[in-house]
Amino acid sequence: MRLEDETALITGAASGIGKATSLRFAEEGAEVIVTDINSDEGPKIADEIDEAGGDATFYELDVTDADRFDELVADVYDEHGLDILVNNAGTGHPSAYVEETDTSMRDFVMDVNIKGVWNGCHAALPHLKEQGSGSIVNVGSLASIFGLPKQAAYSLSKGAVLNFTRAVAAEAGPKGVRANTVCPGFTDTPLLDQFLAAADDPEEARQKLREDYPLKRLGEPEEIANCILFLASDEASWVTGHGLVVDGGYRTS
């Protein structure tokens, strides 16, 4: 098993890519620290892992709360150890031109998508550097690479995640810590459902998205989880500062 005897903390783990990653990591032998602001669904993921013979613990976490993130990581490190951090928690916003986007919505997206990733790295890096090893995987987006129309705040935040990851990789590499970003295309998650709900015909919008990809389908959370697993594991031991695009061939179309 690729993550045997390792502890992984995953944010936004109650649904979508975070849930799939938690389950996949557990299959590979990791002790999984399941964190999410959703205290109803989060424990169910930890229970599912435990019932399958794995080892998981749930902690409620709002990633925008820097002090709480610091405290939680310190507690996890002391009680469980820490080898892998997956900064997956993120949010989107309704489609709107820049001038139509409310400042409050912009700030919310920045708080979750940028500050949340910053807070996770800020909390974990001292411990990972001290032990001389560790892997951080931040979840970006195709919007880390392309500016998406009517998704300017989201694109701004996800572009920042990718470049921030490169900075972390440059800083932490000499201490034995790797940092990478996975950049998924549209993936079939509850967040995508929320995005499509604003369309006049959500199913028609979903089909149009499918047609944008050479593989003619959306990504599955488990497919993104497999890529996060690779970046987190020793199989990617000489990969750092990288943005792994997982997009069903979108960039070739």
Q: Which residues are catalytic?
A: 154
3-class secondary-structure state, position 122: helix
Q: CA 93 to CA 101: how far, in whole Å?
A: 9
Burial of 227 from C-beta contacts in 10 A (0-12 / 13-18 / 19+): buried
Tally of CB atoms within 10 A around 52:
11
**CB atoms < 10 A from the CB of 253, how many?**
11
Tokens of 122: 């800020």
Measured between alpha carbons, how far is 123 from 110 in angstroms, rounded to an integer? 18
Question: Which residues pair with residue 177 across a beta bridge?
Answer: 134
Token digits of residue 166: 């490169």
In this structure, what token pair is assigned to residue 159? 């572009």
Could you count the other beta carbons within 10 Å of the beta carbon of residue 246? 17
For residues 73 and 135, the answer to whether their CB atoms sit within 8 Å is no
Q: Cα 187 from chain centroid?
A: 13
Q: Which residues contact 109 (CB under 8 A, 6 or more apart)?
A: 91, 92, 93, 153, 154, 156, 157
Q: Is the dihedral of CA 166, 77, 49, 117 positive or negative?
A: negative
